Structure 1
Amino acid sequence: MAIAKRFRIGHDEVFGHGAYLVSPVTPVSDFERSTKESKVQQLDKDTGMPLWSVDVLDADPEAAKKSRTVSVKLSGKVQPVPPAPQGGMPFTLVVFDGLSALPYIDDNGNFARIAWSFKADAMRAPGKGDQPSTASSGSGSSAAA
């Protein structure tokens, strides 16, 4: 049996208590191709489209300190647009469609630990069905982060 390095996982399996945006959507830099004078945006290895990143707070009260805030990558020709904040909340609740995870070893610090790289096809407001609220037209879920 072959198991892919990156695998599909449901939003609720990762963010069972909710995911709240805590940063704007930003381009992912390609550090191998960028120079001081020219910043190059990383491309998705599967779709060839530019990669974008957004930080979210995992609302699980039992989440470890290092795991409370995670980055989720999205691919698309244009910058994805997050859903509008609702109900006067300071953070925007978001759902990721087509979420995938890639485990890796984080050996920064005194002890090595398993960490996760997340990528999604789209993001949307909760309860909006399958209507993603991104300006993205492409996706993919198997590229390494």
Structure 2
Amino acid sequence: MAINGRFKVNHGDVFPHGAYVVGDVEAVRDFERSTRERPVQATDKETGQLVWSVSVLDPDPEARKDAKTVTVKISAPVQPVPPGELAAGLPFRPVEFDGLTVTPYLNENGGRARVAYSFRATGMRAPAASKASPRSGSEAA
């Protein structure tokens, strides 16, 4: 089968109403290699790059309440920087993700199974329509 693991998707397919950064970009901890005294940052199994996470608001009016905020993990050699400009009248920064992938998985939270999704990207930048200066987690790209 040609489909294995992550599915490549376009930002607009996942976030047709846009997306907004609502938190800081943080290092993802590798729980298998870390100790209480010595945290170790996770690395992407496919690229070997460091893994970072950022919380994102999905303003889709039809999105379920528990799906309004999602985490996107970004594989990059250095900590990605969110786009600098806030959305007009909002305390959030609009964002688009480059190299976006999705991995479906079964979430058995509270004895009730449902399909959930894990999002990964290779970088983030201001949306193309805003003409803001693009920023990416991968400066060499």
Please confirm whether the aligned pair reaches a TM-score higher than 0.5, indicating the same fold.
yes
Q: 1:82 — aligned with what?
A: 82
Partner of 2:8: 8
1:47 aligns with 2:60: no
User: Where do residues 105-144 of structure 1 align in structure 2 (5 Å cutoff)?
Assistant: 105-127=106-128, 132-137=134-139
Specify the alignment match of 1:103 in structure 2: 104
> Distance in 2 between the 1:111 and 1:138 partners?
43
Structure number with the higher helix fraction is: 2
Q: Deviations over 1:9-48 (max 9, x none)?
A: 1111110011111110000000011111000000011111
Mapped contact 1:97–1:121 kept (Cα < 8 A): yes
Given that residues 49 and 138 in structure 1 are in contact (C-alpha distance below 8 angstroms), is that contact kept between their aligned partners in structure 2?
A: no
Task: Report the residue type matching 1:54 in the other structure.
Answer: V
Q: TM-score, normalised by structure 1?
A: 0.87
Q: Structure 1 unaligned runs (5+)?
A: 140-145
For structure 2, the 5+ residue unaligned runs are none
Number of the residue aligned with 1:143:
none
**One-letter identity of the residue aligned with 1:125:** A
- TM-score, structure 2 as length reference: 0.90
Q: May I ask how many residue pairs the two structures share in their alignment?
A: 138
TM-fit CA distance, 1:2: 2.2
Separation (CA, whole Å) in 2 of partners of 1:108 and 1:5: 22
What's the counterpart of residue 94 of structure 2? 93
Q: Tell me by how many angstroms 1:77 deviates.
A: 1.5
Partner of 1:67: 67
Q: Secondary structure at the match of 1:61?
A: coil
Q: RMSD of the TM alignment (CA)?
A: 1.9
Q: Deviations over 1:69-117 (max 9, x none)?
A: 1110111121001101233520001001111000000101241110000
| Paired residue secondary structure (1:53) | strand
Q: Is the 8 A contact 2:27 2:41 kept in 1?
A: yes
| Structure 1 contact 97–132 (Cα < 8 Å) conserved | no
Would you identify which runs of 4 or more consecutive aligned residues in structure 1 move more than 2 Å?
85-89, 134-139
